[in-house]
Amino acid sequence: MTTKIVISGSGLWKPSHIITNEELVEAYNGYAAKFNSQHAGDIEDGKVSAKPFSSAEFIEKASGIKARYAYIKDGILDIDRMRPRIPERTEGELSHQAEIALNAAKVALTEANKSPSDIDAVIVSCAYTERYYPAIAIEVQHALGISGFGFDMLVACSAATFALQRAYEMVASGTAKSVLVINPELTSPQVNYQDRDSHFIFGDVSTATVVESSETCNSKHSYEILGTKAITLYSNNIRSNFGYITNSTDADPYAADKFFHQEGRSVFKEVCPMAAKHIVDQLQELQMTPNDPARWWLHQANLNMNLLISKRILGRQATAEEAPIVLDEFANTASAGSLIAFNLHHKDLNEGDIGVICSFGAGYSIGSLVLRKCAIH
């Protein structure tokens, strides 16, 4: 009998701080008014572009986002700062990102009925890490007392699905018996809160999953991984140019291109058909049709993207039960979005039900897993 590889536990941690669209708009518009006043002469002479104003209605119509969680709210709404005021920690203290990673990891371990001694590999995979070395995964491994190894991965909004694929391969090959995958998405430091078109997009959160063999699984809710699929296609349409050589180029570390920026219309036009085709192709490879999955846990970047992708796949609008939306509460949480949807909307499925986790984003990158609900223990 072939050993099955399963997701046996899922964890979600969210910050206590919430920023509503209304709060964010009030701060941004205050900043824009101040900027326009200070640069009135240059704006009149055509040397500087005036900052456009925003509204909560604009944000919700453009994205479906109503609010977002912030790891540190202080500073973001200060029109003289417009970025979170995150206190520096000493090298002997637990890093900020390791802290939120641990919060989600502990929940996932509990859900999987696992202790740290049962885990022998840790993958931290997200859009950004707060430092390059030592790896955040190794810091988390040390904090939990896990033997084995850990490493970090960066694949922007597809980091979680790509890491789950690595975990699946590691368990299948015998490299590890149980893998803890964590997505500590501390995105707020990379948001340009002075840019009307992107200041509302991201929120902070952390998710985690446990991947193991069905032979060692003893959790109440588990999902067999029937298949994984990943694809990348290079594009500059979603980009951040901040990096370790910024200091050597003498570039302005606070310049707009050093933060998240995108060509939103191009992304929408190009990624939606790519993601839909990717999912349909994977289902066909598994001898399934789009009618087989009962649940679609899609990347949570933009409501309109999800509606279009599901319509391309199903030939109709997916219901809220079929393709749950969480971005209204969480905003875009980079790679964690589809895992938040999975975490909050999986326990109601019945044994044998099929579900699809899919992410898509910068790179371009698309990752997906087709799952089947196992018997409830």
Annotated catalytic residue 157:
yes
**Does residue 112 register a pLDDT over 50?**
yes
CB 47 within 8 A of CB 76: no
Residue ranges per structural domain of the chain: 223-373
Domain 223-373 has CATH 3.40.47.10: yes
pLDDT for residue 376: 75
CA distance 211 to 167: 6
| φ/ψ of residue 293, rounded to 5 | -65, 135
- pLDDT, mean of residues 318-342: 97
CB 297 within 8 A of CB 345: yes
Single-letter amino acid code for the residue at 142: H
- pLDDT, mean of residues 73-82: 98
- pLDDT, mean of residues 314-331: 96
pLDDT tens by residue, 135-167: 999 999 999 999 999 999 999 999 999 999 999
pLDDT for residue 312: 96
Confidence of residue 1 (pLDDT cuts 50, 70, 90): very low
CA distance 145 to 116: 6
pLDDT for residue 144: 98
Token duo for residue 330: 């969480």
pLDDT tens by residue, 15-39: 999 999 999 999 999 999 999 999 9
- pLDDT, mean of residues 103-121: 98
CA distance 13 to 104: 5
CA 371 to chain centre: 19
How high is the mean pLDDT of the chain? 96
**Does residue 229 register a pLDDT over 60?**
yes
* % of the chain residues with pLDDT over 70: 99
Which position among 157, 217, 358, 374 bears the catalytic label?
157
**Does residue 2 register a pLDDT over 90?**
no
pLDDT for residue 3: 79
CA nearest neighbour of 305 among 334, 271, 332 = 271
Token duo for residue 35: 């900027």
Residue predicted with more confidence, 370 or 1: 370
pLDDT for residue 225: 98
Q: Is 74 helix (H, G, I), strand (E, B) or coil?
A: coil
- pLDDT, mean of residues 304-327: 96
